[in-house]
Amino acid sequence: MPPTVFPTGTTIYKPDKCWNGYTIYPTITETGAVLIDMNGRVVKHWPQFQGFPLLLLPEGEILGGQVGRVTRAYDHELGSDDVVQEDWDGNVLWKFGRAEQIEVEGQPLWSTRQNHDNVREGCPVGYYVPELTPKSREAKTLILTQKSGRWPHITQDYLPRAARIIEVDWEGNIGWEWMPAEHFEEFGHSEAAKQAIMNWCRSQHCVFLNTASYVGPNKWYDQGDERFHPDNIITDDRGTMVFIISKQTGKIVWKIGPEYTATAELRALEPLIGPHHAHIIPKGLPGEGNILVFDNGGAAGFGPPNPGAPTGAWNALRDYSRVLEIDPLTLEIVWQYTARTAGYQAYAEDSKFYSHFKSAAQRLPNGNTLITESNWGRLIEVTRDCETVWEYISPYRLSTAVFSSDIFRAYRYPYSWVPQLDTPVQRAVIPPDNAEFRIEPVGA
């Protein structure tokens, strides 16, 4: 069990080794979203934004989902009825809420059903890239959403939350959409996997996506590889896949998985289990062109039955997480963060770094990586050598239970993007030696 007494807020901070700025993250409590400085001080609070990723835009504007009646009654956790852009003072600049009409308590209601991701035209990912700025006006928005229905060629189950990616223009028109349920045969599942999916799909996880972003400008396309066209879409499946969709044809043109015994390269990589936030590191950042993904671990995938998965569903098992940077041509792991690279030695300690749902990784301009370890409500900035130079524990608790915080995804942005605030004073945080740290008894 984890400890029952622990600090919250910023617990480690080495200013000279960090890429300093503001960090935004949504809670799934009534607190909503917060913007914090490096010392963990809340400098802005948006209670109306909850649950899934939020984008900070230049001039202190915010873009993200707002939860309402439809999604509270119907959807996976805190899906969003509306995707809203607001200025610093709360004025609505743009709003979209008409992706699908669904029935709640006998009444037809419109909702975006946004979940897991949204990206604004101008920057391929939700986070800060020095030379690629998201547009604030007259722009398209890529949104990961959901749709309900039956796809009998996939599973006998009714799918209430089948993934759907849409691109919406400034006037609210859906100009492009794509669903994995309509491209299922392109995944390359084995016959054993298809049978497991048909018999047991857990309501959505055979066609459930955890992220969506643009491929963006990259060296592979510059060298003539059309699979990496900047307009293409990269996403990951809740099972064991990362793949790229051609924006023009809708075909899957590049993938990792789902069968990890197919080649020597895939066997060396080992299965990606329940991955989140797979994206191509944008041009202008260290590692540009490589895939960065939070490989959660836990259970995922479909195939032949094994002792841990007697039906063949959730047949890939691993009780620890990895953050991986992968060369998309060779599938070589270029860099990784695990409990071992963080300094733990024994295999029994691999689970010291483990978030089996949600989570994310952002490449920062100085080469560090900001990691969201969602299930512990923990954010860390680590160097290329896997040194933790900033650590923050969210104080917003889901309940009175121990370590019950939850952060879906956090992003770091430069101070200059919020001109409404003075640049904060940065003070180092040096944690006590845990071997000597004591809590004094009451009355001492």
Q: What is the pLDDT of residue 11?
A: 97
Q: Which of left, alpha, beta for 386 (phi over 0: left; psi -120 to 50: alpha)?
A: left
Distance CA 168, CA 143 (A): 8
In CATH, what class is 9-417?
A: mainly beta
Q: What is the pLDDT of residue 77?
A: 53
Distance CA 259, CA 301 (A): 9
Q: Where are the domains of the chain?
A: 9-417
Q: What is the pLDDT of residue 2?
A: 67
User: CA-CA distances (angstroms) from residue 376 to 3, 349, 405?
Assistant: 12, 16, 6
The model's pLDDT over 326-360, given as tens digits with 9 standing for 90+, comes to 999 999 999 999 999 999 987 779 999 999 889 99
The model's pLDDT over 36-59, given as tens digits with 9 standing for 90+, comes to 999 999 999 999 887 788 999 999
Distance CA 212, CA 181 (A): 16
Q: What is the pLDDT of residue 78?
A: 55
pLDDT along the chain (444 residues), means of 10: 81 98 87 94 92 92 83 61 95 95 83 91 98 97 93 89 95 97 94 91 81 98 98 93 98 96 95 96 98 96 90 92 98 97 87 92 98 93 98 80 71 98 96 89 79
Name the amino acid, one letter, at 438: R
Q: What is the pLDDT of residue 76?
A: 54
Distance CA 360, CA 127 (A): 11
**How many Å separate Cα 100 from the centre of its chain?**
23
Q: What is the pLDDT of residue 56?
A: 97
User: CA-CA distances (angstroms) from residue 340 to 349, 353, 378, 391?
Assistant: 8, 9, 18, 18
Name the amino acid, one letter, at 361: A
pTM over 0.75: yes
Q: Which two tokens stand for residue 391?
A: 């650590």
